[in-house]
Amino acid sequence: MSILAVKELYKSYDGQSYAVNGLSFDMQEQDFIILLGLSGSGKSTLLRCINRLIEPTRGDVLFEGKSIIDLKGAQLRQYRRNIAMIFQQFNLVKNLTVLTNVLTGRLGYHGLGSAFTKQEMDSALFNLQRVGLQDFANKQVKQLSGGQQQRVAIARALMQEPRIILADEPVASLDPATADSIMQYLAKINQDGIAVICSLHFLSLARRYGSRVLALKDGIKAFEGLPTQIDKERFKAIYGEDAKEI
């Protein structure tokens, strides 16, 4: 059984055009799916529909065979524990310490005002070690580089003990060397048993790290398959006739 299944998913913001248009795909537990496509092709909208940050217009999303479209309250919070998000702009609290930011990944497990446990503190330090930041726990986030901040965001996501990580252009604001290192951390997490869906602009990173590619164009699936199957013809079908691979 697939861990995630998207079935004929549509999302319209204006009631006239579709940001996601009839999209269907399945995801297995071991998958590292790369989302490709131009800005505005529907990648971010798809990820936000999966996490129910926005509501689909119609269609279905199934997690472990059960629809998540109508979940509310405690059931929705429980589902979201399984689906961690990593954003392009990190979404960290810059004036707080690295450790405190990582611990916020546990807020979905806590009632209002309850304190973090020693086990959670130990888990936060362990996850910082996983991303090579064990010596930065007490530094303020604003003192870190962009790549280090994204690694804090990854450690925070791991605190949810997720089954799936959704990474929305996590390397778009980073230099090429730092971007590659972030992708290496995501690949290691995937090897440890967490499925990953990661939107990217660079086909070179898709080929290096993705197990599968899902390419969108105007909200429609333009390609689904192995990264090695994207030749010049398919590249132009995704990005346009005038596009050049970087």
Q: Rounded to 5 degrees, what are φ and ψ at 191? A: -65, -25
pLDDT confidence band for 119 (50 / 70 / 90)? very high
Q: Mind listing the pLDDT tens digit for each residue in 66-82?
A: 999 999 999 999 999 99
Domain coordinates in residue numbering, the chain: 30-47+78-239
First to last CA, the chain: 37
β-pairing, 164-168 vs 195-199, is parallel
Strand-pair category, 4-11 with 20-27: antiparallel
CA-to-CA distance for 60 and 49, rounded, in angstroms? 10
- DSSP characters for 163-232? SEEEEESTTTTS-HHHHHHHHHHHHHHHHTT-EEEEE-S-HHHHHHH-SEEEEEETTEEEEEE-GGG--H
pTM: 0.93
Going by pLDDT thresholds of 50, 70 and 90, the confidence category of residue 115 is confident
Label residue 32 left, alpha or beta by phi (over 0 means left) and psi (-120 to 50 means alpha).
Answer: beta
30-47+78-239 to CATH, choices 3.40.50.2300, 3.40.50.300, 2.60.40.10, 2.160.10.10: 3.40.50.300
pLDDT tens track for 170-194: 999 899 999 999 999 999 999 999 9
C-alpha distance from residue 208 to each of 33, 36, 80, 213, 227 (Å): 12, 14, 29, 11, 8
pLDDT in tens, 16-25: 999 999 999 9
The residues, ordered by sequence, that sit 6+ positions from 219 with a Cβ below 8 Å of its Cβ are 11, 18, 19, 20, 21, 23, 41, 42, 45
- Measured distance CA(123)–CA(137) in Å, rounded: 12
Give the pLDDT confidence of 11-53 residue by residue, as tens digits.
999 999 999 999 999 999 999 999 999 999 999 999 999 999 9
Q: C-alpha angle with apex 199: 198 to 200, nearest 5 degrees?
A: 115
